[in-house]
Amino acid sequence: MTNSGAFDQYTCFSGIDSRYHNETLDPYLSYRGYIQHLLEVELAIIKVYSQMGVAGITNEIYDSIAEVCKTVNIDDIVQEEERIHHDIRAVVNCINNLLPEEMQFAVHLAATSYDVIDSANAKRFSGVYKNCILPQCTEALGRIRYLSQEYIDTPMIGRTHLQNAIPITFGKYIARFEIRLTNQLDRISETFNHLMGKFSGPVGNHAALSLFCDDPIQLEKMVMNELGLSQCYSSSQIVPRENLYSFLNEIFVFSAIVNDLASGLRILASDAVDEVREFYDQSQQVASSSMPHKRNPIQLEKICSIHKVIVGLKHIAEQDICSWLDRDLSNSLSGRTYAELLAYFYEQMRVLEKVIRGLVVHEDVMLNNLLAAKDGFLAEPLYCILASVQFPEAHEKLRQLSVLARQKSVPVSELFLEDEEVLPYLDQLSDKIKDRLNLIIENPATYLGTYARN
């Protein structure tokens, strides 16, 4: 397939084309890639016909049509569609315009438009996932895994409700996301395996195929095998959208987890926390047109912004599950946005890998922030230890001591160890618990539970 003009991203409206265009995705998600996959489906049908001798179609006819498809001009297809107002028939006409008249009958024989479109979409979405998205996700996960291992013993203060909680380690904080994303990638791969094609005609009953062969369902299966797709047994004029939606929805969930990770890192990168920073090229990078001092987490913010787009595109795919009776056109224009969702997701993964690879971790700040919070979070282990020796209302006692500690600006542990009501109960502690208590008070960063390396 050929075309006369080069791609000019600066004449495009969509941000994914004008600003974030990535040539890696072109063979699958571009309009040119889409047309190429339509041609591949048409050829797969003719190839199976030639193997089965349907309607006198021979290997020579197939070979001739395959050669012609290499020279079909995409500009001609666009012009033909403008003339006749039908996309697939425009493709067929442009193929036939290059064929001898005696071969033209073989193109699109017994097929309907969405035999070709749905099969082409399943094939190109499968291809972009296997060859582009999955490797990019795997690379990003590798970076996340390395980051978690690198800082597995780096203590930091955990935070709930944006308030200081108790210590964790930065490595295990990141490891939680690595586990979640790995599991979610498995779910995407499972739904990806259920993308299907069809060759069952205008209402899914193989009526036209039945004119030419005794087992049209087997012929359909052979076409799907040629395309590397699963055969849909519940098709009407279209492949039902739920499997494709499930695939896109699992991608959305992966994006949501990434959004969760990026949002957390944005908080840690704020000036008030300053525990991590995006890589910043101090020699030339500009963060603000008016404030020269700024260092903004623009890549993390971009990740979160992309997720907003994916949320909207996912809902479009969800609404396309409904198609009146055997099929209507209400999913035609909206269905053209599925490729955008995949392109935005690929860009999100590309940026994620870049951010994690260049992330600057301030271990000293993490420790300082943890120690600055110790007077608050020590209330939890003190309460639990006191409750273990049956102190009445131990939780309320530590709540009162915490309030008093804040009022007096003294450590809660100091008030705890001096409290006349508490002291008799401390004598009941085992030596092991006493040692643990003293260690936590002396070095609060050791209060890590299972986050401590064993």
DSSP calls for 212-273? T-S-HHHHHHHHHHHHT-EEPSS-SSS--THHHHHHHHHHHHHHHHHHHHHHHHHHHTSTTT
Residue 232 lies in a domain: no
Two structure tokens written together for 54: 């349907």
Q: Which domain holds residue 127?
A: 116-202+238-363
Examine the domain organization and report whether 335 and 270 are in the same domain. yes
Domain assignment of residue 227, yes or no: no
Domain of 69, CATH number, reads 1.10.275.10
Question: What is the rounded average pLDDT of the residues 372-399?
Answer: 93
| 352-381 per-position pLDDT tens digit | 999 999 999 999 999 999 999 988 899 999
Q: Is residue 276 part of a domain?
A: yes
Report if residue 434 sits inside a domain. yes
Residues 411 and 320 in one domain: no
Q: What is the mean pLDDT of residues 277-299?
A: 73
pLDDT for 294: 63
Considering its fold, how many domains does the chain have in total? Answer: 3
Do 292 and 167 share a structural domain?
yes
User: DSSP code of 85?
Assistant: S
Tell me the pLDDT band of 453, cut-offs 50, 70 and 90: low
Q: Residue 5: which pLDDT band, with cuts at 50, 70 and 90?
A: low
Q: What single DSSP character describes residue 211?
A: T
* Domain presence at residue 405: yes
Higher pLDDT, 372 or 4: 372
409 shares a domain with 279 = no
Q: Residue 248, Cα to own-chain centre: how many angstroms?
A: 9
The number of helix segments (H) and strand segments (E) in the chain equals 21, 6
Q: Rounded to the nearest 5 degrees, what angle is found at the Cα of 315, between the Cα atoms of 236 and 176? A: 120
Q: What is the pLDDT of residues 201-230, one digit of tens each?
A: 999 999 999 999 999 999 999 999 999 999
For residue 437, pLDDT beyond 90: yes
Residue that is last in its domain, among 363, 386, 401: 363
Q: Determine the Cα–Cα distance for residues 122 and 229; give it in Å rounded to an integer.
A: 7
Q: Are strands 196-197 and 163-169 parallel, antiparallel or unpaired?
A: unpaired
Q: How confident is the model at residue 286 (pLDDT cuts 50, 70, 90)?
A: low
Residues found in the chain: 454
Average pLDDT, the chain: 92
